[in-house]
Structure 1
Amino acid sequence: MLYQQENNSAFSGVLPKREDMDSMYMWKLEDIYISIEKWEEDFKNLEKMLPRFQEYQGHLFESPQKLFESIQLMENAEIIMGKLYAYAVMKSHEDTSKEIYQALADRAGSLLTKLSAAVSFYTPEILSAEDGLLQSFINQSSDLKKYVFFFENILRMRPHTLSQSEEELLARAGEVARGPEEIFSLFTNADMKFPTVVDEKGNEVELSEERYIRFIRSKDRRVRQDAYESLFDTYSKYKNSLAAMYSSSVKSDLFYAQSRKYESCLEGALDSDHIPLSVYDAVVDTIRENLAPLHEYVALRKEVLEVPELRMHDLYVPLVDEPHKDISYDEACSMVLKGLEPLGKEYLSILKHGFESSWIDVYENQGKRKGAYSWGSYGTHPYVLLNYNGTINDVFTIAHEMGHSIHTWYSHKNQPFIYADYTIFLAEVASTTNEALLLHYLIENSTDRNTRIYLLNYFLEQIRTTVYRQAMFADFERTSHSMAEKGDPLTADRLSTIWHDLNVAYYGPSISVDNRIDIEWARIPHFYSAFYVYKYVTGYAAATSLSQQILNDGEIKRTRYLDFLKQGSSSYSINILKNAGVDMTSSAPLEETIAVFKEKMAELKELLG
């Protein structure tokens, strides 16, 4: 029986099987490979390419042409690898219980490790070249001139680059290092089962991470409490196993940081994007110094909800009824298109093309990876994974993930492969700018008091969850890695104590922080990509500034913003963002965001009377 998503059966009952889903709402991975057989052909071709790298090892500087040919070989191999890996992993995410696609993903991961080992000699050999030889080659070869920044970025890593044999060993360890994240993903997506929850209408519904998002926003306090307790009680059952997974991930971070002679895991993680430690510290410390507005907002929430004791499961429920309920996917796309009109006709045409050309996998099904992301590979269009449930939050998720995808589209179209992928530091800027523009549109076009209250509350929630909450995550990561560096064990109880204390500090005296929340650290997938989450904070602060510039200054700032999207990694991230009009080496963007938070809270209080 075909699963009819637009009749809202997506929002109740047992999750459908993948084969029962309507293909209209599924991504088309055939645009990468028409069949697994074609994937196998590329896999074999890349395997055959790997021995060719040995011809260049130790011979890069025989001539400018030799150096250029070796880089071309590396680029061609990495382009194929990108397609192989993206296809295999995205297929595995369609249904994580299907072993055939898990096997593809495992094989792709193994081949990636082999490729990393095969090319591991490049950086040490370039760094060992005689002084002036590289520059001489660049001067002699027009083909090498486009790689000037590529070489510059390698040379700055000299203090943290090892010998050829050591680099090869680290590359081969990559597959083992990915183990904790892969185990966590499979365990929480495929093996972990949640109990049923009785919804507002008295129906028993199987709980999932995606459905939890819907339940925790329910106006029925009993529903959100039941969902909250069921979710975290399930995680608590496996707290020791989950702690072992996370501890192993942190130990992997420590292994690489120490191997590359960094003073800390944090320094090693930030150096890949050439971000000063002061930027990370400013995120955590600036937010820590400005918790009073968050405490005030939590107190307001308690007052409006009229509860004798505000609990953790009361943090996400809207203060007024949601104006848009069970929004169809097509309606959501229309809302996003309207909201992003300030970005101009060209941007909108790309966005509409993505909606109409099977870039997006829309609905949840049994075994599907939770959450949402944008992904793809060079030479193919981007893809978006959603688990759409018909809420206004899901509409913003579409805007967010398509922000990533169109950033990718612009970068890939305007940069050669070597600079086509923007850094993670920049990744959250375009996505969050989209959200800010959509929210501005919805607030400006709200026609009644309740809708405006809802949207202002949503605005405040965005800052609470993307700035304050992610800063709390960054705070946790800094603490957990510091403990590991000192040799302190990361047990479930220790991690839970840290998490409990952070929640007490961040949310303040107006809320009762119960013990169930202590295990929440165990369900955060981003913790397996160490020191990623602070970029949500910097990205939101940058997006707040950029969206205001686009709205207030028109064509000139829009053109500058679209130029930002085209830069890829052709310069250092801090400089690309500075050229776009935001200086993240200063705490000013964060302070401006907090000022906006206070301004919108005052407006909300006025409307609430």
Structure 2
Amino acid sequence: MSDVKQLPTRDEVDEALTWDLTQIFKSDADWKAAYQKIEQDLEQRDTYQGHLGESADQLLAGTTYLLDIWHQLENVDVYASLKQEQDTGDQDAQGLAAQANDLVARAGSALAWFNPEVLSIPEETLQSWLKEATLAPYAHYFADLDRAREHTLSADKEGLLAGASDIFGASAKTFGVLDNADLEFPVVKDEAGNDVRLTQGVYGVLLQSTDRSVRAAAFKQLYKVYLQFQNTFASTLSSNVKGHNFDASVHHYPTARAAALASNNVPESVYDTLVTEVNSHLDLLHRYVSLRKRILGVDHLHTYDLYTPITGESPLSYTYPEAQQTALKALSVMGDDYVSHVQEAFDNRWVDVVETKGKRSGAFSSGVYDTNPYILLNWQDNLEELFTLVHEMGHSIHSYYTRHNQPFQYGDYSIFVAEIASTTNENTLTQYLLDNTDDPKVKAFVLNHYLDGFKGTVFRQTQFAEFEHWIHQEDAAGHPLTAQHMADYYGKLNQTYYGDDLTPDPEIAYEWARIPHFYYNYYVFQYATGFAAASTLSHNITSQKPGALEHYLNFLKAGSSAYPLDVMKTAGVDMTKPDYLQDAFAVFEQRLNEFEALLK
């Protein structure tokens, strides 16, 4: 077993391939000083509490005080969070993250009086004050707050709930530590017959292997571990759902979904339209699954056969430096200014590249108003990682533009539009790769990748959305979310989506146990809506439709200065209607036709 390939520790990685968190705080001591300053500032709340309704000046002073604390707290929180994510087994980093979480909870409790006190100001008075020059920049901020008037409790009750935020988040934290640090996965064989320790990152690579025995072993061995802890994961997920339902109930929302979508001013009809449209187009997914079974030449298509390229071994692979150069070329259609910031990310250590021992799995973009928009990767030399790079770069450049064009109160964008910039980049990369090759094998591989990406983002994330809504409904109805109950539903739902040509593997019924996004409170559906909207935006940009790039960049710069659906309308996509989804399915079908023709 001494020959088993092990992940490097963080100190064994070239510093240039790690993110530079000293640009947030030079040291943990500086972080502690900032932490203590926030504690001191919180003690000044009596200067503002109880006085907001006295005058426009007092409202401005209180608002400035509130936003300043959250501004400082963002830096403290994200530094601690990223330190922990880079090594989830680092006890010191866990300590910083725990302290940050505690301070966030205490700040939320100490400042919970603000919203109820603003909403106690007569509406006519508030509207007249907002016309004054000093408060005018906060007009949308207060309009957004006013939407929650009937769902806002008294200051003492909101303070109590805010103080318990760390408790409500405990299940998600437990899942994260268990999934990223404590689970011990077995050793499996790679394509070359080498022993490799199974990790989330390695699993993703092995599942794309053209050696079926490698795929099958990775799949079965990974789920063997999750099945061993199925009841623990059912407990953490159930507790998380209960927290969502409780919070929605006490704030007088009819459902947890209504509460989650209200924060972005998105009607539930947008969610239902997505599910309806996807279910009405499942024949396209079934057709693709059937094609996959036929081309792979298998009697029984299993779940572990859904991710390997139909066209065989990838003709494309990228080292990280090669991926950087390809990303710059593909994104050049976004204009010189956009590309200059991508280069800035590469040159200034915004990206943490290498998979290391204890590092959080997957990939994400993170950061706050004052920081770089950092990117976490777990790099593997394949096409999928190139797409991940441009995806996360889409998030980061969206963040960059927002923070450099909006004041702090509007310096972040709605979660509802968060996946649009990232998937616009993905669609743009797909078009670049298709446009820059005459090799039918490469073209077929890229089309296959696009179809798989659509499958995984639009179809699969909508499947997740259906499951997520179901578990919230089941809990609200008083039905216990046991591992078996969830597995029974999930297994049937999975079969509905993929159709009769997919052999139902018993392990896949427990896929819910390993999906971190089920802890994110109605987040996953936005991957699907975002990808569909991005399909339209990317097509408009790459086809050089007049005004398309300018409208898109204005969308990236808008932040939360307007409601997300309104921001998207100005960018050219009305997400209250099914048209954008139907357009996306039309592109999927057209590329499926092209792929089938190439294979013939």
**TM-score bucket (shorter structure):** over 0.9
1:558 Cα deviation after fit: 0.5
Whichever residue aligns with residue 24 of structure 2, its letter is I
Are residue 111 (structure 1) and residue 81 (structure 2) matched?
no
In structure 2, distance between residues paired with 1:552 and 1:20: 45
Contact 2:210 2:313 in 1 (8 A): no
Q: Which residue is 1:318 aligned to?
A: 309
What count of residue pairs does the alignment treat as equivalent?
597
Whichever residue aligns with residue 27 of structure 1, its letter is W
Whichever residue aligns with residue 506 of structure 2, its letter is N
Contact 1:325 1:390 in 2 (8 A): no
1:530 Cα deviation after fit: 1.6
Whichever residue aligns with residue 120 of structure 2, its letter is S
Query: Aligned to 1:432, which of 423, 438, 441?
Result: 423
Whichever residue aligns with residue 503 of structure 1, its letter is N
In structure 2, distance between residues paired with 1:185 and 1:277: 29
In structure 2, distance between residues paired with 1:271 and 1:181: 22
Whichever residue aligns with residue 124 of structure 1, its letter is P
Contact 1:324 1:391 in 2 (8 A): no
What is the TM-score when the length of structure 1 is the normalising length? 0.97
1:451 Cα deviation after fit: 0.6
1:353 Cα deviation after fit: 0.7
Whichever residue aligns with residue 81 of structure 1, its letter is L
Q: Which residue is 1:78 aligned to?
A: 70
Contact 1:412 1:420 in 2 (8 A): yes
Query: Aligned to 1:184, which of 156, 169, 175?
Result: 175
Q: Which residue is 2:369 aligned to?
A: 378
Whichever residue aligns with residue 574 of structure 2, its letter is D
Are residue 550 (structure 1) and residue 541 (structure 2) matched?
yes
Are residue 603 (structure 1) and residue 590 (structure 2) matched?
no
1:137 Cα deviation after fit: 2.1
Q: Secondary structure at the match of 1:320?
A: coil
Q: Which residue is 1:26 aligned to?
A: 18
Deviation string 1:422-472 (CA, Å, 9 cap, x unpaired) is 010010000000010011000111231111110111111111000000000
Q: Give % identity.
A: 39
1:321 Cα deviation after fit: 3.2
Q: Which residue is 2:318 aligned to?
A: 327
Q: Which residue is 1:307 aligned to?
A: 298
Q: Which residue is 1:573 aligned to?
A: 564
Contact 2:568 2:574 in 1 (8 A): yes
Contact 2:315 2:441 in 1 (8 A): no
Query: Aligned to 2:49, which of 57, 62, 81?
Result: 57
Q: Which residue is 1:268 aligned to?
A: 259
Are residue 529 (structure 1) and residue 520 (structure 2) matched?
yes
Q: Secondary structure at the match of 2:153?
A: coil
Q: Which residue is 1:35 aligned to?
A: 27
Are residue 508 (structure 1) and residue 508 (structure 2) matched?
no
1:48 Cα deviation after fit: 0.2
Query: Aligned to 1:121, which of 113, 117, 120?
Result: 113
Whichever residue aligns with residue 282 of structure 2, its letter is L
1:307 Cα deviation after fit: 0.6
Q: Which residue is 1:168 aligned to?
A: 159
Structure 1 runs not aligned, ≥5 long: 1-11
Whichever residue aligns with residue 118 of structure 1, its letter is A
Whichever residue aligns with residue 338 of structure 1, its letter is K
Query: Aligned to 1:16, which of 8, 15, 18?
Result: 8
What is the TM-score when the length of structure 2 is the normalising length? 0.98
Greater mean deviation of Cα atoms: 127-136 or 161-170: 127-136
In structure 2, distance between residues paired with 1:90 and 1:379: 15
Whichever residue aligns with residue 112 of structure 1, its letter is V
In structure 2, distance between residues paired with 1:460 and 1:411: 31
Q: Secondary structure at the match of 1:384?
A: strand
In structure 2, distance between residues paired with 1:447 and 1:604: 14
Contact 2:48 2:61 in 1 (8 A): no
Deviation string 1:130-164 (CA, Å, 9 cap, x unpaired) is 2421123223x311110111111111111111111
In the TM superposition, what are the counterparts of 1:78-97 in structure 2 within 5 Å? 78-97=70-89
Whichever residue aligns with residue 464 of structure 2, its letter is F
Greater mean deviation of Cα atoms: 449-458 or 12-21: 12-21
In structure 2, distance between residues paired with 1:318 and 1:44: 53
Query: Aligned to 2:234, which of 211, 219, 243?
Result: 243
Contact 1:362 1:385 in 2 (8 A): yes
Whichever residue aligns with residue 53 of structure 1, its letter is R
Query: Aligned to 1:290, which of 281, 298, 303?
Result: 281
In structure 1, distance between residues paired with 2:55 and 2:590: 62
Q: Which residue is 2:141 aligned to?
A: 150
Whichever residue aligns with residue 67 of structure 2, its letter is E
In structure 1, distance between residues paired with 2:599 and 2:23: 51
Q: Which residue is 2:485 aligned to?
A: 494
1:306 Cα deviation after fit: 0.4
RMSD: 1.0
In structure 1, distance between residues paired with 2:317 and 2:590: 30
Are residue 136 (structure 1) and residue 109 (structure 2) matched?
no
